[in-house]
Chain A
Amino acid sequence: DTGVSQDPRHKITKRGQNVTFRCDPISEHNRLYWYRQTLGQGPEFLTYFQNEAQLEKSRLLSDRFSAERPKGSFSTLEIQRTEQGDSAMYLCASSRYRGTDTQYFGPGTRLTVL
């Protein structure tokens, strides 16, 4: 059973540039979540999808952030006009929708904004 995969694993960018991350969930999972984790903190919820529908967005997700899951499979998270405060680990998780099911996490994408 293939786990959650994320690409790239590391991204270094200059302030003001746009970046896009990809997440491939476990194949039979129809829920997909994005979290952000800064140094020394626990992950914080950003948004989640059920199939292709984005059902909730955290107030942490500013207008510069956009997430999509166009075919209900993989998802992308784009950050426009990056700021140094966006430097963090971006984690993706997936789960089945069956009552409450466990979220399984990918390895994360570490973003460094210079």
Chain B
Amino acid sequence: EVQVLESGGGLVQPGGSQRLSCAAAGFTFSSHAMSWVRQAPGKGLEWVSSISGNGGRTYYADSVKGRFTISRDNSKNTLYLQMNSLRADDTAVYYCAKDSYGGNPSKFDSWGQGTLVTVSS
């Protein structure tokens, strides 16, 4: 059974940093692209970032480019999102999502339960 489980959320001050992790199991991790999708309170889904299966290609939304870094450790079946220079409008539930394929982001076929990041002083 495919499982993805996020961790690392919490309360962080504006301008601060936070690192999210996503532990994966039940599939060949290195064969699948992975993504982060967020949802601000009461709002819709916003794609944040994706990384190819081998980690060679990364993609970012304009809203986070230059502040967030996606990475993966295929030996540990773990996805990461390093978030720097956090702003109030980064407050959201962050979901880790498995892609059906290994390259560009396409269809997100399995999702974690999400981890809440709150940016506030």
A binds B: no
